[in-house]
Amino acid sequence: MSILISSLMLGKGGKRVVVKDSIDIAGSPTQAGSAALAEAAPATAHADIVARTLQAGYRIVGKANLHELAFGMTGVNGWAGTPENPRYPALIPGGSSSGSAAAVASGLAEIGIGTDTGGSIRVPAACCGVYGFKPTFGRLSREGVMPAVSSLDCVGPFAADLAELIGFMKAVDKGFAQASLGPVTSLGMAEVAAEPAIVEGIDRQVEKAGVPRSSVSLGMLDEAFQAAMTIIKRETYLAYEGLLASGKLGSDVDKRLRAAAVTTDADVAEAEKVRRAFTAKVDALLDRHDYLVLPTLPHFPMTLREALAGQQDLDLSRFARPFNLSGHPALSLPLASHRGLPVAMQLIGRHGDDAGVCRAGWQLLHPASHRDDTANRR
C-alpha cells in the first residue's frame, strides 16, 4: 500500500495523526504527490494546522499520499503509488486526500488531516467508510498549504470515530465549542438524483433518528457544481502552470491543467455570480431548517481497476463540490454499506455552525443516547 509518502515522529505520546503531503511540515519536502516536485526543498516552517496539532498534544506519524497536486477525485497516483482502500479494497480510495482517509480507515492513525477544494475530504471519507469534515471556509488557517491561494479550499480532519473528530476540532480550534445538547428539530432533505440504494440508506437512518424532516429543492446544485469547477480550474492553473514545462506531471493532471488554461475572466465572473446566488439559496434554506441532508456521493465509487485503466469520475463530487463554492460547513458520515459498497450521508450547516453540524451528526447516528441525555436533564 502507498498510504504514506514518509514516516515521521513529531510530538510525544498522544494520538496519531497523518498529514496530507500538500501541507508543510518543517524539515520535510512538500511534494504533493508529484514527480515535478520530487526535488522540492524541505519546508522551513510548519503549516499553521501542523503547529496547532502538535501544540494540542497529538503525535504526527507520517505524511499521507494524495492524488497528484490535489487535482483529482480517484486518488490514483502513478508516481507516488495509489493508496489501497482498506475497507473496500476493490474500489478507489477517492481523492484527493486519499492517503489521509486510508490511513484512518486502516488504523494507522486516529486522525487524518486533509484538504477539501471540491470534495477532497468528503469524497475519500465516503469511499473509505470514515468520517470527513470540511469546516466553514476560512475557519482553519491555510497558511503553509498548497496551493497558497484558493477561494474554495479548506483544511479539515478525517476520523474513524465521530467523537475523535470532534475532539480534534476542539483541540485545534479554540472557537469550536460543542453546541448545546438541544435536539435537532428540522432537517431539509435535499431532492437529488442519486443511486436509489444510497438515498434509501439515508432515509432509513434519518427515520431511525426520529428527527422532523421535509423535502427541499437545491435547484442550483448543478450550476454550483459547474461554477466550482470553473473556479478550481482557474485557481489550480495559476498555481501550477509553471510545472507543465517539466514534463513530469501525470497524464491525467497534465491534461486537466492544460485544459484549464482556456478558462476566461468572463467564465470566472459568471461563476462568481453563481456563487453568490447559490450561497444565498442555501442560507435561505438554513433559515427554515437546522441542517440540510443529502448524499455525499451521487453513486457508488468506481473500481480501482477501472481507475488504473484511466477512467475518471469528476461527477463523484457532484454533491460535495457546491458547498466549497458556498463555503458552508459539511460533514460526511458513513452509514451501513449496501452489498459491500459504501454509503455516506452529508450534513450541511450554517456558516460558522461547525460544532452544530457535528452535534447533529452525532444525534442522527446515536438517537438513543441523545434521548437518554435529554431525559437525564429533566
**Is 14 a residue whose pLDDT tops 90?**
no
What amino acid positions are annotated as catalytic residues?
20, 96, 120
Can you tell me the mean pLDDT for 176-182?
A: 67
Domain of residue 149, CATH code:
3.90.1300.10
Q: Please name every residue paired with 343 in a beta bridge, in sequence order, or none if there are none.
A: 335
Residue with cell 476540532: 169
pLDDT in tens, 213-262: 999 999 899 999 999 999 999 999 999 999 999 999 999 999 999 999 99
pLDDT of residue 180: 55
- What is the rounded CA–CA span in Å between residue 38 and residue 55? 29
Can you tell me the mean pLDDT for 31-55?
A: 98
Whole-number Cα distances in Å, 331 to 167, 191, 200, 299 = 15, 18, 19, 18
**Is 376 a residue whose pLDDT tops 50?**
no
With the C-alpha atoms ordered 62, 141, 48, 26, is the resulting torsion angle positive or negative?
A: positive
Task: Enter the pTM of the model.
Answer: 0.96
- What is the rounded CA–CA span in Å between residue 349 and residue 136? 9
**pLDDT range class, residue 178, cuts 50, 70, 90:** low
> Cα–Cα–Cα angle for 204, 126, 95, nearest 5°?
160
* 8 A C-beta contact, residue 49 and residue 83: no
Number of domains into which the chain is organized: 1
**pLDDT range class, residue 12, cuts 50, 70, 90:** confident
pLDDT in tens, 101-155: 999 999 999 999 999 999 999 999 999 999 999 999 999 999 999 999 999 999 9
pLDDT of residue 367: 83
Task: Give phi and psi for 219, each to the nearest 5.
Answer: -60, -20
Determine the structural domain holding residue 69 and report its residue range: 4-376
DSSP string, 143-170: TTBSSS--SS-EEEEEESSHHHHHHHHH
pLDDT of residue 51: 98
